[in-house]
């Protein structure tokens, strides 16, 4: 499984639709300060369901929508889609390519989809559970995250190992059945 494509429109500094094609292996993003490098990784976290504006370096969630410039009007919604190569079937879905998309309007309402079919955020969260990807996963390591892991409480650190070991799905199901 690897990230094949990132499409962004109206998200943070990306007013126009842009498309980034990635290859297998390592991709580096270079550019001057403030040119939008971190906004790309924010977009990936956001499409996977990030709910915290602060962790996307904003004050409120609306801040992810292109706010306009001196010469350009603000936009009404932000949209991100990522395409994942799933030829190794790491994602438990019968497609060799999986497109996850999110669109959010200024009203705060978000729409999610998997392969162009509307879905709930819960469906996306479940799809990525135990893969290490996803908003709680360890595949996106933000600044300060290493320090956070090293100084975390044992219970919190255990959660990271549980995700890596692939048992979060079973734990969540157990908790859900205990609630019923
Ligand atoms: P650095 O090298 O300093 O880490 P960077 O390339 O990671 O820089 P980003 O933090 O990704 O840069 O981009 C910051 C830019 O994004 C700023 O110029 C900021 O004005 C712009 N930006 C953030 N949110 C919005 C928004 N909602 N609308 C328009 N521009 C935005
Ligand atoms: Mg940055």
Tens digit of each residue's pLDDT (9 = 90 or more) over 99-137: 999 999 999 999 999 999 999 999 999 999 988 887 777
Nearest residue to 79 via CA among 53, 105, 114, 58: 105
Q: Is the same domain home to 154 and 98? A: no
Q: Is the same domain home to 36 and 115? A: yes
CA of 38 to the centre of ligand 2 (A): 4
Residue 26 falls within a domain, yes or no?
Answer: yes
Q: Is the same domain home to 97 and 124? A: yes
Domain count, the chain: 2
- Higher confidence at residue 130 or residue 4? 4
pLDDT band at 26 (very low <50, low <70, confident <90, very high): very high
Q: In what order do the strands lie in the sheet with 18-21?
A: 18-21, 2-9, 77-85, 97-105, 110-114, 117-119
Nearest residue to 47 via CA among 6, 86, 14: 6
31 lines ligand 1 (CB under 6 A): yes
Backbone angles phi, psi at 107, to 5 degrees: -70, -15
CA atoms within 13 A of residue 130's CA, in its CB half-sphere: 14
Residue 71 falls within a domain, yes or no?
Answer: yes
Q: Is the pLDDT of residue 166 over 90?
A: no
143 lines ligand 1 (CB under 6 A): no
Q: What is the pLDDT of residues 41-100, one digit of tens each?
A: 999 999 999 998 988 999 999 999 999 999 999 999 999 999 999 999 999 999 999 999
State which of 30, 34, 60, 106 you would mutate to test the pocket of ligand 1, scoring each by most atoms of that ligand within 8 A of its C-beta. Answer: 34
Q: Is the same domain home to 77 and 113? A: yes
Continuous segment of H or E residues that includes residue 157 = helix 154-165
* Dist. CA 136–CA 130, nearest whole Å: 10
169 lines ligand 1 (CB under 6 A): no
By residue range, what is the domain housing residue 152? 141-180
CA of 81 to the centre of ligand 2 (A): 21
Nearest residue to 136 via CA among 146, 144, 128: 128
Continuous segment of H or E residues that includes residue 83 = strand 77-85
* Residue 7 CA, distance from chain mean position: 12
63 lines ligand 1 (CB under 6 A): yes
CA of 148 to the centre of ligand 2 (A): 19
- ipTM of predicted complex: 0.98
Sign of CA dihedral 139, 63, 37, 40: positive
Q: Which residues are annotated as a binding site?
A: 32-39
Residue 147 falls within a domain, yes or no?
Answer: yes
pLDDT band at 38 (very low <50, low <70, confident <90, very high): very high
| pTM of this structure | 0.89
Q: Is the same domain home to 103 and 15? A: yes
Q: Is the same domain home to 70 and 152? A: no
* Burial (0-12, 13-18, 19+ Cβ within 10 Å), 33: exposed
Q: Which residues are annotated as a binding site for ATP?
A: 32-39
Q: Is the same domain home to 145 and 124? A: no
Q: Is the same domain home to 91 and 177? A: no
Residue 135 falls within a domain, yes or no?
Answer: no
């Amino acid at each position: 499984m690897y990230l094949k494509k990132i499409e962004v429109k109206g998200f943070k500094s990306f007013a126009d639709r842009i498309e980034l094609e990635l290859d297998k292996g390592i991709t580096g993003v270079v550019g001057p300060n403030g040119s939008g490098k971190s906004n790309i990784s924010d977009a990936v976290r956001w499409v996977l369901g990030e709910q915290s504006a602060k962790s996307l370096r904003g004050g409120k969630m609306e801040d992810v929508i292109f706010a306009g410039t001196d010469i350009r009007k603000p936009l009404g919604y932000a949209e991100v889609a990522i395409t994942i190569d799933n030829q190794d079937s790491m994602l438990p879905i019968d497609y060799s390519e999986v497109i996850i998309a999110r669109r959010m309007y200024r009203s705060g309402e978000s729409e999610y989809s998997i392969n162009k079919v509307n879905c709930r955020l819960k469906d996306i969260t479940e799809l990525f559970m135990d893969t290490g990807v996803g908003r709680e996963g360890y595949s996106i390591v933000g600044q300060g995250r290493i320090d956070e892991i090293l100084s975390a409480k044992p219970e919190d650190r255990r959660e990271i190992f549980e995700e890596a070991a692939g048992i979060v799905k079973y734990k969540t199901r157990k908790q859900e059945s205990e609630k019923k």
